[in-house]
Amino acid sequence: MKQVKTDMPPRLEVRGLVRRFEGKAVVDHVSLSVPRGQVTCLLGPSGCGKSTTLRMIAGVEMQDEGEIYVDGALICDTKFRVPPERRHIGLMFQDFALFPHLSVADNVAFGLKGAKEEKRARVEGLLTRVGLMRFIDGYPHELSGGEQQRVALARALAPRPRIMLMDEPFSGLDNRLRDDIRDETLAVLKDEDAAVLLVTHEPEEAMRMADEIALMRDGRIVQQGAPYNIYNAPRDREAVAFFSDVN
């Protein structure tokens, strides 16, 4: 009989994460887990603690309490800390600009180690995937905002991160472009089999992209579930109001 493995740990697991500034918990016992190949959206109004949560997972900010696990292995608690560059985590932020003095190819290859030919193959594969092979020898200033965003996605994915952390990555783009880039980004991320934690304050974006939504407010996750379930059964009036501009 074929054995089905059910004890696979989630790609990313966060337990009881707390961050205080001047005595106030801006992230207040946040727990989350993201399986591989899944997009979880951390959704909530501006100032609720989304970016701080992401920065702790990335390792660029220390938590006051709580633990972070990748594939079941502890990467950070209050005493032990794997440095950011060894966490197998890719980052994409709204203002995470490309290096202007490097070609598109060199931007994408930036975080890659190994033989030149291997790196080139990975760069070409990713640029083909995001439809930008024709710009491989171009420079960032020659690209539109949307094209730069696709290059940034390719760059973040190049080292094959196990987890992608994305903080409002599409908010700098105009509306017309945004839907296309969201869909395309999703398709590329699914190909790469990473676990994705996407931060947004836009319910519409979460509804479009998430497999699961974690609704955040005042530093806490107040509701978590499939987008459809949360949209149809928001837990309180504040959640109803927050979702009211989605149609």
Per CB under 5 A, residues contacting Mg ion are 51
- Does 169 help bind ligand ADP (rule: CB under 6 A)? no
The secondary structure element, H or E, covering residue 40 is: strand 39-43
Which string of DSSP letters, residue by residue, matches 187-199? HHHHHHT-EEEEE
CA-nearest of 75, 87, 40 to 195 is: 40
- Does 38 help bind ligand ADP (rule: CB under 6 A)? no
Pick the piece of the chain touching ligand ADP (CB under 6 A) from 46-54, 111-119, 128-136, 143-151. 46-54
Pick the piece of the chain touching ligand ADP (CB under 6 A) from 45-53, 113-121, 129-137, 155-163. 45-53
- Quick check: 125 and 94 in contact, CB under 8 A? no
Could you tell me the smallest distance in angstroms from the CB atom of residue 223 to ligand ADP? 16
- Does 48 help bind ligand ADP (rule: CB under 6 A)? yes
Could you tell me the smallest distance in angstroms from the CB atom of residue 183 to ligand ADP? 24
Residue 113 has a CB neighbour count (10 Å cut-off) of 8
- Does 23 help bind ligand ADP (rule: CB under 6 A)? no
- Does 47 help bind ligand ADP (rule: CB under 6 A)? yes
Binding mask 52-91 for ligand ADP (x = CB under 6 A): x---------------------------------------
Could you tell me the smallest distance in angstroms from the CB atom of residue 51 to ligand ADP? 3
Could you tell me the smallest distance in angstroms from the CB atom of residue 219 to ligand ADP? 7
Considering the complex, state which of residue 154 and residue 165 has its C-beta at the smaller distance from Mg ion.
165
- Does 125 help bind ligand ADP (rule: CB under 6 A)? no
- Does 46 help bind ligand ADP (rule: CB under 6 A)? yes
The secondary structure element, H or E, covering residue 240 is: helix 237-243
* Strand ranges across the sheet with 24-34: 24-34, 12-21, 65-70, 73-76
Reading phi first (left if > 0) and then psi (alpha if -120 to 50, else beta), residue 206 is in alpha
Integer Cα distance of 202 and 243 in angstroms: 9
Binding mask 128-147 for ligand ADP (x = CB under 6 A): --------------------
Cα dihedral 153, 159, 165, 169, rounded to 10, equals -10
Integer Cα distance of 43 and 67 in angstroms: 21
Considering the complex, state which of residue 46 and residue 175 has its C-beta at the smaller distance from Mg ion.
46
- Does 26 help bind ligand ADP (rule: CB under 6 A)? yes
Could you tell me the smallest distance in angstroms from the CB atom of residue 100 to ligand ADP? 26
Both tokens of 201, joined, read: 């304050």
- Return the residue of 10, 49, 66, 140 that touches ligand ADP, per CB under 6 A: 49
Task: Say how many CA atoms lie within 13 Å of 94 toward its Cβ.
Answer: 12
